[in-house]
Amino acid sequence: MSARSETKRLSVPDIRARKGGTPLVALTAYSALTARLVDAHADILLVGDSLAMVEHGMDTTLGATLDMMILHGQSVMRGSARALVVVDLPFGTYEESPQAAFRSAARVLSETGCSAVKLEGGAGMAETIGFLAARGIPVMAHIGLTPQSVMVLGGFRTQGRERAEWERIEADARAVAEAGAFAVVVEGVVEPLAERITAALSVPTIGIGASARCDGQILVLEDMLGFNPRVPRFVRRFGEVGAAIDKAVGDYAEAVRERSFPGPDHVYQPKD
């Protein structure tokens, strides 16, 4: 039996138990290749609907489909062994009713083998979260800046800059946690509000553009690796992989054009 097959995958109770403990490390992953590279370091791998933009070149996340999420979710499950894998429910697949959300979530879990789904929305989605949780579907909630609502929000706008907004955002956080979400992504929320929400909830908060005092952090992998020349303020570029790829491909192109590749070590010769 391989070491990989002996690896025990983190569970939803494992993640919930990390509340107030060692911060949770979460990253997006969209393929078996990237999942394999980051699995040993991450506690949570999110197959986010951000793949519509990162992998498929769309302007927003709204173009992600359920079939698309399932395909990428299957790939990430094949490439990972340790991290808890969560798959986003894309826009239009859960908002209509708790029953519609259940059908979408059931497909995701059964067809990918992932451990949980994530959906956006605060108090307005509490009934749906409770409906799913009561039927054995673990849910990660997502409040604050919710990219699927970008049209309503008027763009990717930081939430909570005006203190008048705080009560509503805090109410959203409490509602989804009380409904049964095992963790809550807090995105694009001013730091003191993110700290208040983290202190108030009994489940872990996962910050992105929020606060270091959240119970964990998540970033889009391609952003933190330097694939994209322009990234949000909250992203720290931990590597410059994009520049390295650009140089490697440029070197390859030059070698091909000057006929220095393939060389003697890269071709086959007859035996005689």
Query: Is 195 one of the catalytic residues?
Result: no
Of 160, 219, 226, nearest in space to 193 by CA? 160
Rounded Cα gap, residues 94 and 102, in angstroms: 8
Flag whether 50 is marked binding. Answer: yes
140 neighbors 116 (Cβ within 8 angstroms): yes
Question: Of the residues 170, 187, 195, 222, which is catalytic?
Answer: 187
User: Is residue 109 helix, strand or coil?
Assistant: helix
3-class secondary structure for the chain?
A: CCHHHHCCCCCHHHHHCCCCCCCEEEEECCCHHHHHHHCCCCCEEEECCCHHHHCCCCCCHHHCCHHHHHHHHHHHHHHCCCCEEEEECCCCCCCCCHHHHHHHHHHHHHHHCCCEEEEECCHHHHHHHHHHHHCCCCEEEEEECCHHHHHHHCCCCCECCCHHHHHHHHHHHHHHHHHCCCEEEEECECHHHHHHHHHHCCCCEEEECCCCCCCEEEECHHHHCCCCCCCCCCCCCCCCHHHHHHHHHHHHHHHHHCCCCCCHHHCCCCCC
Flag whether 88 is marked binding. Answer: yes
Flag whether 118 is marked binding. Answer: yes
244 neighbors 252 (Cβ within 8 angstroms): no
28 neighbors 72 (Cβ within 8 angstroms): no
Instruction: List the catalytic residues.
Output: 187
As annotated, the binding site for 3-methyl-2-oxobutanoate includes 49-50, 88, 118
As annotated, the binding site includes 49-50, 88, 118, 120
